[in-house]
Amino acid sequence: MEWVKAIEAIFDYLHFEDNDRVSCAVFLLTKTARIWWEARKVTFNVQTLQWNEFKELFYDKYFSTNVKTQKVKEFLELKQGNLNVNDYILKFEEGRCLFVPFIASNDKDRWEHFMRGLRAEIRRDVRISKATTYKEIVEKALLAEHDEKEIEKERQLRRQSFNKKIQTLSQSWKGGYKGKGKE
């Protein structure tokens, strides 16, 4: 799959037409993939084969139904968990683009699914922002994560300051009480 994504980036950069994409991809096939294609191409008119059709054939060959089903399940159950927002975005986009492209067809479905997977404190901040597009939601999630880190730093500084005060008081009590009173 990484191979397909890498050459698609090249295709986009070079502004390849659909039929040029298939020809270039076939040219880049090596070893067993080349043998697989030589056997498959006899059943297709390579001149009219569309890039999406080629990718479908390629994925059918190299990714079993079980693997694809598992990847779809992983995407549908994707949660941010301990991932930072950037890593969550990467996993989300990888799953959406490669395994569950139907979510890409509707911006609202895409951002709602993305929101469901965010950690609660970040999701809360994004909802408060009233962002309405996927791009805005991603930007707000990144900002919310940054703010959460700043809040946590401030909490740690307050804890450290409080602990130092407690430690100072504790040490003064250990030295004994030297005030007025009975002797």
Q: Is the pLDDT of residue 183 over 60?
A: no
Q: Does residue 122 contact residue 86 with C-beta atoms inside 8 Å?
A: no
pLDDT tens digits along 21-38:
988 998 999 899 899 889
CA nearest 131: which of 120, 144, 121, 148?
144
| pLDDT (average), residues 149-171 | 88
Q: What is the pLDDT of residue 176?
A: 59
Q: Which residue has the higher pLDDT, 120 or 105?
A: 120
pTM of the full predicted structure?
A: 0.60
- pLDDT band for position 175 (cuts 50, 70, 90): low
- pLDDT band for position 104 (cuts 50, 70, 90): low
Q: Residue 141: which residues within 8 A CB-CB, separation 6 or more?
A: 85, 89, 114, 118, 122, 126
As a whole number of angstroms, the distance between CA 166 and CA 5 comes to: 57
Lowest-confidence segment of 60-69, 95-104, 114-123 by average pLDDT: 95-104
User: What 3-state DSSP class applies to 49?
Assistant: coil
Q: Which amino acid is at 1?
A: M
| pLDDT (average), residues 52-60 | 85
Q: What is the pLDDT of residue 117?
A: 95
As a whole number of angstroms, the distance between CA 96 and CA 90 comes to: 10
As a whole number of angstroms, the distance between CA 57 and CA 40 comes to: 9
Residue with tokens 């008081």: 169
Q: Is the pLDDT of residue 129 over 60?
A: yes
Q: What is the pLDDT of residue 62?
A: 81
- Quote the Cα angle for 27-30-36, to 5°: 90
Q: In whole numbers, what is the pLDDT of the chain averaged over residues?
A: 86
Q: What is the pLDDT of residue 21?
A: 92
Q: What is the pLDDT of residue 140?
A: 95
Of the chain, the percentage scoring pLDDT greater than 90 comes to 34
Q: What is the pLDDT of residue 181?
A: 53
Q: What is the pLDDT of residue 61?
A: 84
CA nearest 91: which of 80, 103, 104?
80
Q: What sign has the CA pseudo-torsion 53, 59, 61, 65?
A: negative
- pLDDT band for position 66 (cuts 50, 70, 90): confident
